[in-house]
Structure 1
Amino acid sequence: MRLLMLGGTEFVGRAITEDAVSRGWEVTVFHRGRHAPPPGTTAVHGDRTAPGGLAALAEGEWDLVVDTWGDAPTAVRDSARLLAGRAGHYAYVSSRSVYSYPAPAGLGEDGPLVEGSADADAVAYAEDKRGGELAAVEAFGDRALLVRAGLILGPYENVGRLPWWLNRAARGGPMLAPGPRDLPIQYIDVRDLAAWTLDAAAAGLGGPYNLVSPVGHATMAGFLEACVAATGSDAELRWTDPAVLQEAGVAPWTELPVWTGLGEPHDHMYGGDVSKALAAGLKCRPVARTVADTWAWLRSLDCVAPQRSDRPAPGLGAEREAALLGL
């Protein structure tokens, strides 16, 4: 297989690229040159947002294109149009954020979607991802695979969610744990996303697929206990009622990464129906393995994870946490 990876040097793109190389595929990585691509690839440079930025892709043929773009849909539009006659399949890594809020628990791929346009400049994350989907389908039709990922965790994470929890657990001591303990969470290990995307595209699948672990695959307790176990610290999880956190004004998702609280936000984020992807071969590794492997990677970086410049670093300040715990 000949893969053209648009991006391929950070987090999701890097995991997909490394998986493809491990299969013996011929991989071309198109990127801006800010980070080194994985070994075993051919790199070509360009800036999709600049006039003439796709010039390096004017020639060449590929069996598969994978695109993770999450900004202005026009970049997906221009890339897909340019490559439609020279690539067999186009896999666009989208997001479950494209579903209109609030999405009820159990929602499948036929749920209502936010508005989007392939010709739009950057609007907001959900609308931009929907516009990217439309751009891919416009150019490739049923040869476009729309990978609607949920929360993505694992090595190379540059958003800071799991790295923050791991570093917090490593610090030890009383540790605020947002309840309830058995609150289900859905996520996808970036390596499982990579493997499924390449398998599905190689099999010729098209259309939208929710890509996240099944409901019940993990809970907040399993996730946080895995963080403590992986770091080998003496952290003591102090489970805190969601009502207490709400009363204190603690921001779900940002101050306490991964945790959404209860009700509509939780159902929207962690209630997706993934039966279609499971039927198409999705396999999800245990949360303990995702956490342990991420900690091993993080330690290789002296516990300082890369942080995307367009995303604020998440996490609860130490003083605020202590106050919430009454310390």
Structure 2
Amino acid sequence: MRLLMLGGTHFVGRAVTEEALARGWQVTTFNRGRTEPPPGVSTLIGDRTGDLSALENGEWDVVVDTWSGAPTIVRDAANLLSGRAAQYIYVSSRSVHPFPTPPNATEDAPVVDGSPDAGEVGYAEDKRGGELAAEQAFGDRALFVRAGLILGPYEDIGRLPWWLNRMARGGPVLAPAPADSGLQYIDVRDLATWTVDAAEQKLGGPYNMVSTPGHTTMRELLEACISVTGSDAELRWTDPDAILAAGVEPWSNLPVWLPQGELYDTLHMGNVDKALATGLRCRPVQETVADTWAWLQTLGGQAPQRPDRPPVGLDPDLEAKVLAQHS
């Protein structure tokens, strides 16, 4: 199989590239050449936003695109490649469904309005426009990988790295109750494995790409972080109302966590039966945590940060204040 990876050096793109290489695929990456791709790939240099000339020649079995900005960028690449690639896989998002999305929502749930001809509007609309751009050029040969929360090595948002580094510091840790609150996410390598499998199966259309609801819990995630870092961190389970009243923001200040309610249902209760029926398998949270920690150690503990996303995490002084009030 011949894969053209648009990007290929960061989080999801890198995982897909490495999975394809492990299967003996011929992999070509297209990016600006500012970071090193994995060994074994052929490299084309260009800029999605203005210079696609390096893509004017060549044929591929599958294109994988992780673009998150203006749909016109997906449109231009897909149109250029439509006659020279057999399949276009666009890594989209479950955010294309309008908020709130009820529990157990499938791929057939309503989606936000989007246009392949739109500039950058907002994350949900941009991802939906990207889907439409891929579909416009490739029809039923377009596959939409609607990812939810993605964790694992190479993460450049900082969610799991923040928790790991917080546990490594040790001491009392603000932990949002209830401890048995279920989490739904996808290890980036499991996403990559399914995506490469889907290319081999020539799947098309939308697929929700997360684990089953309750694949792990907040307790299991945080205890795994303590275990792999070998720290003396002590989890102080605290009522969500008290945390919110102190001005602590779910998801951003305490990554991954959401209190019970519509946002929790939207992000942690999605239906993934369609992906499971086509081979999705999700590794244990302990493996995701351990491998992410091992990767972080190769970087001195400092994870990369996407320039288009704000840093996540809780200010130590605010954490100490909340803990003091509720100890």
The residue identity in structure 1 corresponding to 2:300 is D
Separation of aligned partners in 2, 1:220 and 1:72: 34
Say what the alpha-carbon RMSD is for the aligned residues.
Answer: 0.7
The alignment partner of 2:126 has SS state of: helix
Q: Trace 1:61-72 onto structure 2 (pairs within 5 A).
A: 61-72=59-70
What is the distance in 2 between the residues matched to 1:176 and 1:250?
11
Q: Deviations over 1:114-171 (max 9, x none)?
A: 1111000001111100000000111111100100000000000000000000000000
**Count of matched residue positions in the alignment of Structure 1 and Structure 2:** 325
| Counterpart secondary structure, 1:157 | coil
CA-CA distance at 1:179 after TM superposition = 1.3
SS of 1:24 mapped into structure 2? coil
Distance 2:260 2:247 in 1: 14
Corresponding position of 1:234: 232
CA displacement, residues 257-286 of structure 1 (integer Å, 9 cap, x when unaligned):
101111001001111000000000000000
User: Which of 59, 62, 77 is equivalent to 1:79?
Assistant: 77
Question: What residue is the counterpart of 2:154 in the other structure?
Answer: 156
Distance in 1 (CA, whole Å) between partners of 2:245 and 2:180 is 21
SS in 2 for 1:297: helix
Q: Which residue of 2 aligns with 1:8?
A: 8
Which of 301, 304, 314 does residue 303 from structure 1 map onto?
Answer: 301
Letter in 1 for 2:320: A
Counterpart Cα distance in 2 of 1:309 and 1:73: 19
**Alignment equivalent of 1:187, drawn from 169, 185, 194:** 185
Supply the distance in 1 between the matched residues of 2:177 and 2:266 (Cα, whole angstroms): 18
TM-score, normalized by length of structure 1? Answer: 0.98
**Equivalent residue, structure 2, for 1:171:** 169
Question: What does 1:1-327 correspond to in 2, within 5 Å?
Answer: 1-50=1-50, 53-326=51-324
SS at match of 2:321: helix
**Unaligned regions of 5+ residues in structure 1, if any?**
none
Output the TM-score relative to the length of structure 2. Answer: 0.98
Q: How far has the Cα of 1:34 moved from its partner?
A: 1.2
Runs of 4+ in 1 over 2 A off after TM superposition: none
Which secondary structure state, in structure 1, belongs to the residue aligned with residue 64 of structure 2? strand
Give the letter for the 1:142 counterpart: D
SS in 2 for 1:65: strand
Using the alignment, how far apart are the partners of 1:217 and 1:98 within structure 2? 22
Distance 1:250 1:317 in 2: 9
Quote how far apart the aligned CAs of 1:202 are. 1.3
Paired letter, 2:48? R
Aligned-partner Cα distance in 2 for 1:251–1:175: 16
Q: Which moved more, 1:140-149 or 1:240-249?
A: 240-249
Q: Distance in 2 between matches of 1:135 and 1:264?
A: 30
Structure 2: distance between partners of 1:94 and 1:79: 16
Show CA shifts across 1:155-202 (max 9, x none): 000000000000000000000111111111100000000000010121
Q: Distance in 1 between matches of 2:138 and 2:67?
A: 16
Compute the displacement of 1:44 (Å): 0.5
* Secondary structure, counterpart of 1:8 in structure 2: coil
| Shift of residue 245, structure 1, vs aligned partner | 1.0
Could you say what secondary structure the match of 1:103 adopts? Answer: coil
What code does the residue aligned with 1:32 have? R
Residue 88 of structure 1 aligns to a residue in which SS? coil
Secondary structure at 2:61's aligned position in 1? strand
Q: State the 1:217 CA deviation.
A: 0.8
Query: Aligned partners of 2:218 and 2:280: how far apart in 1?
Result: 22
Percent of aligned positions that are identical:
66
Distance 1:24 1:184 in 2: 37
Residue identity in the other structure for 1:319? D
Which residue type is aligned with residue 210 of structure 2? V
Question: d(CA) in 1 for partners of 2:246 and 2:113?
Answer: 34
Supply the distance in 2 between the matched residues of 1:205 and 1:236 (Cα, whole angstroms): 46
For 1:98 and 1:238, how far apart are their aligned partners in 2?
35
AA in 2 matched with 1:155: P
- 1:84-128 per-position Cα deviation (integer Å, ceiling 9, x unaligned): 110011110000111010001100000011111100000111110
Q: Deviations over 1:63-102 (max 9, x none)?
A: 0000000000001000001111100111100001110100
Counterpart amino acid of 2:57?
A: E
